[in-house]
Amino acid sequence: MLTGKTVIMGVTGSIAAYKAATLAHMLKKQNCDVNVIMTKNATEIIAPLTFERLTGNKCIIDTFDKNIQYEVKHISLAKKADMVIIAPATANIIGKIANGIADDMLSTTVMACRCPVYISPAMNTSMYENPIVQSNIEKLKSFGYKFIEPTEGLLACGDIGKGKMPEPEDIAEYVYKELAFNKDMSGKKVIVTSGATMEAIDPVRYITNHSTGKMGCAIARAAMQRGAEVTLIAGHMDIAPPPFVKVIDVKSSEDMYNAVISEYKNSNIIVMAAAVADYTPVTAAKNKIKKSDSDMDISLKRTNDILKYIGENKEDRYICGFSMETENLIENSAKKLKSKNADMIVANNLNVKGAGFGTDTNVITIITENDTIELPIMSKDEAAHRILDIIIS
């Protein structure tokens, strides 16, 4: 995901420096060229050798290190870097950068960088809330430096409060968002529906389906990483939504319909990956728990067809629906393309191994007005990118 990208990782003297090793490892696994610059204090917490082994690059500490090849190292690194991430960042490094102090390799290199700089503060709550630190953060934000909010919890000093460095996998998401994939969807506003809607029978029971939200989340994540502004309208999902997307949680099909109606005008692309329940119970049982089977007098009515509604009101938006079939996959899905006035139907054959609900893979056929593209089994993330490639083209 990060092939050809160079990241400078700044590691400073907060106890959270140990987490930076995992971050470096994660980025390296994505083929990133990771260059770690440590402050002297950080080397008291974690050995430079750890980073050297994990990244394959020399870990830089001192501006005047005699072992570094002859060149103006801080300038050459700063020129090469696509992004700087300082994690963990102490109050000291934040203060130095905010005030133009460049007295070691990290502060000097950051000053020479033109690429985006992300800073993940990690310190005791009182230090973090200190008005001087806050004012330094505000000053840096005004110059375009980006901050990763510290989380709350039990700090190494025993206090409970804000100041923890987020987990490495959460910080890595900032790097992926900044550097992974071409930003060929920037400027596009995308709505993705995902997961399963739930239709209440009574206050305890409901009708739903097996959707876990994995495919919808993969599309939302891929679009976000390609630069789109994404709104995820999420029914019940078994996984957490991707970061950096606006999430609107819904329960019933009617909730999802209302959320789509209120959002879709402000969008260019709509992908309906949710498994929307086709029917909802309409009985008094909805409001009270059934006492006997005779009380369970359920009659069903069809839910509003959301895809059909937006198809009829699509104007110049691109609309993609999904279709789950157990027989006549192509024929039935092609019918949906027409009947719902969609631009694309992604068809899933539920009888094929590796396709459908809950799996991490999918076997899809992409149907548009002019093409029917059968794809082999692939991860849902890859399938999401293939769908977006065609939408964008």
CA atoms of 14 and 45, how far apart (whole Å): 8
- Contact pattern for ligand CTP over residues 225 through 264, marking x by CB under 6 A: ----------------------------x-----------
Cβ closest to ligand CTP, residue 180 vs residue 367: 367
CB atoms within 10 A of CB 288: 12
Choice between 120 and 323, CB closer to ligand CTP: 323
Residue 274 touching ligand CTP (CB under 6 A)? yes
Q: Minimal distance in Å, beta carbon 252 to ligand CTP?
A: 11
Measured from the CB atom, the residue of 17 and 324 that comes closer to ligand CTP is: 324
For residue 84, which of 112, 103, 57 has the smallest C-alpha distance? Answer: 112
Single out the segment in contact with ligand CTP by CB under 6 A; choices: 47-55, 57-65, 211-219, 321-329: 321-329
237, burial (CB in 10 Å: exposed 0-12, middle 13-18, buried 19+): buried
Joined together, the tokens standing for residue 116 give 């985006």
CB of 271 to ligand CTP, least distance (A): 8
3-class secondary structure, 215: helix
What one-letter code names the amino acid at 183? K
- Count the site residues for ligand CTP by CB under 6 A: 14
Decide: is 276 part of the binding site for ligand CTP (CB under 6 A). Answer: yes
The site string for ligand CTP over 331-350 (x = CB under 6 A, - otherwise) reads -----x--------------
Binding window for ligand CTP (CB under 6 A); candidates: 99-107, 153-161, 202-210, 274-282: 274-282
Which of 324, 344, 363, 384 touches ligand CTP (CB under 6 A)? 324
CA 74 to chain centre: 32
Part of the chain binding ligand CTP (CB under 6 A), chosen from 63-71, 99-107, 207-215, 272-280: 272-280
The owner of tokens 């692939």 is 378
Could you say whether residue 209 binds ligand CTP (CB under 6 A)? Answer: no
Least Å from the CB of residue 332 to ligand CTP: 7
- Whole-Å CA distances, 168 to 38, 223, 324, 359, 373: 17, 22, 37, 26, 38
Work out whether 303 is an interface residue with ligand CTP (CB under 6 A): yes
Instruction: Tell the smallest beta-carbon distance from residue 229 to ligand CTP (Å).
Output: 21
Tokens of 157: 């000093």
3-state DSSP call for residue 365? strand
Counting Cβ atoms within 10 Å, is residue 293 exposed (0-12), middle (13-18) or buried (19+)?
Answer: exposed
Say how far apart CA 313 and CA 316 lie, in whole Å: 9
SS3 state at 74: helix
- Site residues for ligand CTP, 153-192, by CB under 6 A, read none
Q: Is 321 in the site for ligand CTP (CB under 6 A)?
A: yes
101 phi, psi to nearest 5 deg? -90, 130
Minimum distance from CB of 306 to ligand CTP (Å)?
3
320 is catalytic: no
Catalytic residue among 59, 113, 115, 157: 157
Coil vs helix vs strand at 37: strand
55 or 253, CB closer to ligand CTP?
253
For residues 150 and 344, what is the distance between their CA atoms, to the nearest angstrom?
41
**Burial class, 1, CB count within 10 angstroms (exposed 0-12 / middle 13-18 / buried 19+):** middle
Site string for ligand CTP, 100-129 (x = CB under 6 A): ------------------------------
Rg of the chain, C-alpha, whole Å: 25
Q: Which residues are catalytic?
A: 157
Contact set with ligand CTP (CB under 6 A)? 253, 272, 274, 276, 278, 303, 305-307, 321-324, 336
